[in-house]
Structure 1
Amino acid sequence: MQPVNLRAFKKQANLHKTTFRRFLGRIESQPPRFLDKLAEELDPQVWQEVDCLSCANCCKTMSPTFTPTDIKRIADHLNTTPEQFKDKWLEFDKKDGDWMNKKQPCQFLDLKTNKCDIYEVRPADCAGFPHLRKKRMADYLHVHKQNVEYCPATFRLVEKMREQLSFSQGKWTITKP
């Protein structure tokens, strides 16, 4: 497994994001029956190539949504109340109705090690990120469209899907390289 070169990744992501988003949009509009199985097969390959701890770009540039359950669990872990936790670290996004980090990078990211200081009690959104193996992958394609420019694992998954999927005569087929 190679460490992620964040500068090179950002350059690649910027170069391919429109193509990858278009590709995911096409899948979203007409998902192949075998999409979940393909994602399940590609997932271990992706994780052999991507080392999250060498990257942490998600924690540096994105904010998870904090559910009420997350807030209570993390506040308990930090020996504070949910209200004090929200006042200190979070802001409410009125548009989406979500609690988000006030600042970036995430206040719980140790920038020297790229490790999470509250890993054991991290938000569910963080625990599931980057959502590569969701049961109904078609329901998460909109998330992958966003994450492809932030997450090297998502980028590699979409890249591998593009290498293996072909759309012709109104249907998807697998053309393994």
Structure 2
Amino acid sequence: MPKKLKYDCLKCPGYCCSYPVIEVKDRDAKRIAKHFGLTMEVAEKKYFKSAHGYKRVMKRKKDPHFGKICQFFDTTARRCTIYLARPFPCKDYPGEDNCGYYDFLSFERLAQVDKNFISTTDHKED
């Protein structure tokens, strides 16, 4: 029986997507290229770069909350635009049944009296 997760990604502004290094292995890169109907050569140039000692990481773009975020993150809806094709580190995050960032946000949100603060309880489903 799968573990019950103690967090809800739909109530998060995408903290894990703001990591400066999201490694993309060959298998992940092929899946992303296929998702867009591109060759690996085109996908390599368009979506990935070599950085921080890694062969391939996700390119990033500007983000109003974190400064920079994964290029496949919708900064308005705060959601991954390639969710089904996302690389393994994204699928595996946080690697346990709870997310420390979500726990931190939940605690802070309880202490906030600011209705404009990102809330874990005010999320509207699409």
TM-score for both structures, normalised by structure 1: 0.46
Which residue in the other structure is 2:9 paired with? 52
User: Which digits, 9 at most, give the CA deviation of each residue in 1:10-56, with x for residues without a partner?
Assistant: xxxxxxxxxxxxxxxxxxxxxxxxxxxxxx9xx63x62xx3322221
Which residue in the other structure is 1:67 paired with? 25
Q: Which of structure 1's runs of 4+ aligned residues deviate more than 4 A?
A: none
Unmatched 5+ residue regions in structure 1? 1-39, 134-146, 157-177
Unmatched 5+ residue regions in structure 2? 61-67, 106-126
Which residue in the other structure is 1:152 paired with? 102
2:76 alignment partner, one of 112, 126, 132: 112
Identical residues among aligned pairs (%): 29
Partners in 2 of 1:125 and 1:100 — Cα distance?
Answer: 11
Q: Secondary structure at the match of 2:17?
A: helix
TM-score for both structures, normalised by structure 2: 0.62
What is the number of equivalent residue pairs in this alignment? 95
Trace 1:92-111 onto structure 2 (pairs within 5 A).
Answer: 92-93=50-51, 95=53, 97-103=54-60, 104-111=68-75
Which residue in the other structure is 2:36 paired with? 78
Considering fraction of residues, name the structure with more helix.
1
* CA deviation after TM superposition for structure 1 residue 91, in Å: 1.1
* Two-structure CA RMSD over aligned residues (Å): 2.6
Which of structures 1 and 2 has the bigger CA Rg? 1
Tell me which amino acid in the other structure corresponds to 1:100: V
Partners in 1 of 2:88 and 2:20 — Cα distance?
Answer: 14
